[in-house]
Amino acid sequence: AKTLHQLARESGRYFGAAVDNPELPDTEYADLLGREFGQTTPGNAMKWYATEPQRGVFDFTAGDEIVAYAKAKGLKVRGHTLLWHSQLPDWLTSRTWTPAELRSILKNHITKVAKHYRGKVFAWDVANEIMNEDGTYRENIFYTALGPGYIADALRWAHAADPKAKLYLNDYNVEAVGPKSDAYYKLVKQLKADGVPVDGFGMQAHLALQFGYPDRLRQNIQRFARLGVDVAITELDIRMVLPSDASKLAEQADWYGRVTEDCLAVRRCVGITVWGYSDRHSWIPAVFPGEGAALPWDEKLARKPAYDAIRGALTGG
Ligand code: G3I
């Protein structure tokens, strides 16, 4: 039988999954990644705390390990992420910087990391989670010191360092049409008008059954595509309040199928990445106690109804 990625390939998309370095020695688990998927995103390895643990001292060990694994298995890699308010190194957050210092630190970080991975990643989440729920800019250290122009600067620096990489803005709770996705819509439109290199919008899609299916996801993907950017579903998982039962798993399956269909319905929706793939390794239980079971394979690596639903959607069934 064809893999999820082979099926996605037939319509010119990829189907991928995130992986984190500590998971690679779990060979039974890692083998599934290499077998079923065509793309991977490092869960943590390319973040600032990992890549520049001391100012000006770069460490690409963890990211290189994922890239090497991906290469061996024929997976393409999305880079994640050049700029984020979270998982920053202590040296950066434990003191205040002048705007000029911070600008030069940001430029150097983006330049060094994007240059190192040039030709090894096909896309970058350049700026991750830069908006609040109400559509205002998140007051991260960069915004506070530099104002909203840091986003265009980051995109330009990333483009200069790796002219071929597709450059994305990426966030959660942007799948529905609403204030947060509206803010990105306006921002992407403005960046395009200003000639800033932005190629894509990443919808993380950390969904939860108890919050309902994102309102007008397909139309939302469509409106970004009409701005002339690609859209990717970058971190898909669909959690539930535990314990799971047959009806929750069926609803989850239905949602996995719908997300897949909504992506396939828009030509510029280029691919889907699940954030992990088995309930054996997932960020959710640690962050949302009492929730989980969010992925298409269970802890034992058995396929859940969600897997069949994705398959069904990819085969047009
Ligand atoms: O590295 C330390 C280790 O030294 C320590 O022993 C261990 C004990 O808790 O923690 C380790 O750090 C953990 C890190 O992952 C690396 O494994 C952190 O506690 C943990 O909070 C961190 O979680 C990551 C999370 O981002 C941080 O916000 C998840 O693995 C990662 O999947 C998650 O990914 C994010 C995306 O980047 C952006 N979108 C949301 C998504 C889910 O939160």
The domain spans of the chain are: 4-314
Which residues have CB under 6 Å of ligand 1?
A: 20, 43-44, 86-87, 128, 172, 204, 235, 283
**pLDDT, mean of residues 107-119:** 99
Domain 4-314 annotated CATH 2.170.190.11? no
SS3 of 277, please? coil
Q: Buried (b) or exposed (e) across 181-216, using 16+ Cβ within 10 A?
A: bebbbebbbebeeeebbbbbbbbbbbbbbeeebbeb
Report the C-alpha gap between 110 and 105 in whole angstroms: 9
Q: What average pLDDT does the chain have? A: 98
- Say whether 65 is catalytic: no
Report the share of the chain in percent with pLDDT over 90.
99
Tokens of 232: 């990717």
Which of 283, 287, 288, 291, when mutated, tests ligand 1's pocket best, judged by the most ligand atoms within 8 Å of its CB?
Answer: 283
pLDDT exceeds cutoff 90 at 24: yes
C-alpha 268 – ligand 1 centre gap (Å): 30
pLDDT exceeds cutoff 70 at 227: yes
pLDDT exceeds cutoff 90 at 223: yes
pLDDT exceeds cutoff 80 at 317: no
Report the C-alpha gap between 45 and 81 in whole angstroms: 9
- Say whether 129 is catalytic: yes
C-alpha 276 – ligand 1 centre gap (Å): 13
Nearest ligand 1 atom to alpha carbon 18: 32
Nearest residue (CA) to ligand 1, atom 18: 87
pLDDT exceeds cutoff 80 at 277: yes
Per-residue pLDDT tens for 40-50? Answer: 999 999 999 99
Comparing 24 with 317, the larger pLDDT belongs to 24
Q: Check: CB of residue 148 under 8 Å from CB of residue 184.
A: no
Report the C-alpha gap between 295 and 32 in whole angstroms: 13
C-alpha 189 – ligand 1 centre gap (Å): 32
SS3 of 157, please? helix
Beta bridge partners of 241: 291
C-alpha 15 – ligand 1 centre gap (Å): 23
SS3 of 42, please? strand
pLDDT exceeds cutoff 90 at 148: yes
C-alpha atoms less than 13 angstroms from C-alpha of 53 in its C-beta half-sphere: 6
Per-residue pLDDT tens for 56-74? Answer: 999 999 999 999 999 999 9
C-alpha 253 – ligand 1 centre gap (Å): 26
Helix pair angle (27-36, 61-73), 10° resolution: 60
Per-residue pLDDT tens for 158-175? Answer: 999 999 999 999 999 999
Which residues, including other chains, have CB under 8 Å from residue 77's CB and lie 6 or more apart? 39, 40, 41, 42, 66, 67, 70, 117, 120, 121, 122
pLDDT exceeds cutoff 90 at 30: yes
Catalytic-labelled residue, pool 36, 52, 175, 235 = 235
Q: What is the pLDDT of residue 168?
A: 99
Nearest ligand 1 atom to alpha carbon 22: 17
Token pair 């932005």: residue: 198
Catalytic-labelled residue, pool 129, 139, 175, 261 = 129
